[in-house]
Structure 1
């Protein structure tokens, strides 16, 4: 009798797991409405992200500031509570709390991540990490290796996993790549290996640090859509439910630099990954796709005045200002001015050149990017994050919950509700934004 009861419970568990909802959670770092629309305008088409049937608007503030950084933003998106700027996976008092990915893993889900930054950077680390300072990436690498939370890991940053003697950043002598291999992970570093890998547990680190910007990324490093497609293949092949987090990591960095071209191309790469996710979900029928940003960066405006944007001129740009400055030295006035004309179609006065010439070299890239942006009609208010709300898009079972005005902490709460994974109580944290 006891045996029959055990078998019945086991079958119920298997049935629940077999029909559990898959989640593909895509985050455009630094991406809000205007970053999406900028790319849409310059592409001359509606982006795939914009076609999802359900849309919401979310606030992004952290526990101690109306303007969040990516660490508490990732924690809010993946764990459902506010924390301090710089903190990952802990309450403001430092108490560790699980993310929905950790909870899902304990319930039998396969878990994956695909990013264009180091896999120990703030957003991916918010899936599995617990630190008070996001800069503790060598600690986060150890937490990733030891926790076993994430089965499929694609991104950059092998330097955080190996000792300084092997070109890494670890001073504890640990080689976490070998540790993970001993735990059953297959380690890959090339696009060729990515294309052929079939393991259910994979550590794919394709750069020492972050991947190169998509604007000038070589074929030796994969694009986000390719990593997303492979991750979905590996996570879904055994029939178990899965959760996959995909981040367009470098939208944020190009927006920090006020580079309209860089934002354009990073958003398009992210949108290509969204397309892969939607195609999988539409075919699968049991997968929820959620697309959002963690915050807005740059205070991007889609006009500098005059009721116009010079779209045709912007479309002809040849690259980011970082790429431009790698070829043109501002000290060579004649070639520099000719280069701006060739790359961006803009002319500058002697006075404008002299103003640029006086900028310290460490700030020249972003100041030139702002200058070029304004010449074609895009404006920026800051080189940092803002408190602007960001969109949330959804497709698939449960997508109808993602409408109206919400907070970033609401998303994981909804995920937990519709997956029926846990009845945990999400902690309430007094914040700067409480009670408004």
Structure 2
């Protein structure tokens, strides 16, 4: 018998057959206490907590012990420390590719599924390089121009749409049309998402003008994160090529900024439902690494305000976020407001507490009320901003044992690069420790 010749096509098939799939799920603003708050109130172990390997990561940026989401995403996805407010650009001005961009060049399919706009800091860390995270118009253009991401689900159609069509682009570029010309299937409704065919290898799904509604208030007209994760996995895996998917529970952070325990609870649960989808896929597939972690902690959440107690049963009976409450109750109507606090949160508000809250400027009332309610049921907060607290990382699947011990957030991308055998780009002026 003659020798068999391995063609390039055969080698490519062999590579794709054994290349590792990677799903990274980021709980924005989520550390251990946000997870345990939800676990306590749910009365169960969360899916995230069942992953077999656990580590801790530090989160500081290039210029502060307290990171912004932009350099946090850049560190997690590129392996380099970045300045606060910057995405994918080193302090010396050099742009750096994310592990997703390097994977795309290696033949991977790339996806994102988020509850914020897809041009927000964390999803932008997958594909963009900008000096200012607030440049969402520029980030949207990079999304279309660079074509790093094959499947994107989230919000933010205004950043892709001309002002003349109700969007925010004064340059009148129609980036949705441009994306469709590049082969993307555009969808904007839950029904379209539920029925999208996996034969569409490139899909752009934008389900809100900006970010999706908070999960506590989200109607059936906008998708939940588990559905977006499920459909992204269906599409990405259908081609037979390896893939990387980034999923973000974007609004855990926003509810923590507001010090709203109820909002954090419900956002963590939505995120955890998406983790279950990823885990179920990975267990069935056998060749998928799942990484679940926070990008930083928000709020300085504590699981007690003293007295060795949390009023768990009282907290479980809460009817909604303070945003929802303030839509129904006017603080200037004292009797109705105090009665509403009792009905919604089981809290007996005193006259002096009411008078103190009434003096709060309207733009701060939501969070001051949320902190007050949290304290009454036993949850404390130290800030309305981010903290330097380390965050947990959980892992499942091939290579999961590498995500243990104390890590830096830059280690995540480096470990993924090593496990997937994707060559990292070298930057002579930067020494990546």
TM-score normalised per structure 1: 0.96
Distance 1:64 1:50, change over 3 A: same
Which contiguous aligned blocks of 4+ residues in structure 1 show a shift greater than 2 angstroms? 7-10, 423-431
Q: Does 1:386 find its partner at 2:369?
A: no
Distance 1:423 1:188, change over 3 A: closer
CA deviation profile, 1:100-142 (whole Å, cap 9, x unmatched): 0000001110100000000000000000000010000000000
Distance 1:428 1:52, change over 3 A: farther
Whether the aligned pair in 1 keeps the contact of 2:24 and 2:291 (CA below 8 Å) is yes
- Offset at residue 11 of structure 1 (A): 1.8
- Offset at residue 424 of structure 1 (A): 3.2
CA deviation profile, 1:272-311 (whole Å, cap 9, x unmatched): 0000000000000000000000000000000001110000
CA deviation profile, 1:241-276 (whole Å, cap 9, x unmatched): 000000000000000000000000000000000000
CA distance in 1, matches of 2:317, 2:431: 48
- Please list, as runs of the form range in 1=range in 2, the aligned pairs for 1:248-397 lying within 5 A after superposition: 248-397=249-398
CA distance in 2, matches of 1:399, 1:161: 37
- Offset at residue 200 of structure 1 (A): 1.2
Length, aligned pairs only: 428
CA deviation profile, 1:137-178 (whole Å, cap 9, x unmatched): 000000001111000000000000011111111111100000
- Offset at residue 426 of structure 1 (A): 6.7
Whether the aligned pair in 2 keeps the contact of 1:31 and 1:296 (CA below 8 Å) is yes
CA deviation profile, 1:201-260 (whole Å, cap 9, x unmatched): 100000001000000100000000000000000000111100000000000000000000
Partner of residue 20, structure 2: 21
CA distance in 2, matches of 1:314, 1:240: 46
Larger mean CA deviation between 10-19 and 376-385 belongs to 10-19
Distance 1:428 1:328, change over 3 A: farther
CA distance in 2, matches of 1:241, 1:86: 31
Whether the aligned pair in 1 keeps the contact of 2:102 and 2:424 (CA below 8 Å) is no
Consecutive unaligned residues of structure 1, counting only runs of 5 or more, are: none
- Offset at residue 17 of structure 1 (A): 1.8
Partner of residue 31, structure 1: 30
**Secondary structure of 2:7's match?**
helix
Distance 1:426 1:55, change over 3 A: farther
Root-mean-square deviation (CA), in Å? 1.4
Consecutive unaligned residues of structure 2, counting only runs of 5 or more, are: none
**Secondary structure of 2:406's match?**
strand
CA deviation profile, 1:55-108 (whole Å, cap 9, x unmatched): 000000000000000000000000000010000011012211110000000111
**Secondary structure of 2:328's match?**
coil
Whether the aligned pair in 2 keeps the contact of 1:57 and 1:391 (CA below 8 Å) is yes
**Secondary structure of 1:23's match?**
strand
CA deviation profile, 1:369-425 (whole Å, cap 9, x unmatched): 000000000000000000000000000000000000000000010000010011433
Partner of residue 94, structure 2: 95
CA deviation profile, 1:177-202 (whole Å, cap 9, x unmatched): 00000001010000000011111110
CA distance in 1, matches of 2:321, 2:424: 47
Whether the aligned pair in 1 keeps the contact of 2:16 and 2:240 (CA below 8 Å) is no
Partner of residue 227, structure 1: 228
TM-score normalised per structure 2: 0.97
Partner of residue 179, structure 1: 178
CA distance in 2, matches of 1:255, 1:366: 9
Partner of residue 413, structure 2: 412
Distance 1:85 1:423, change over 3 A: closer
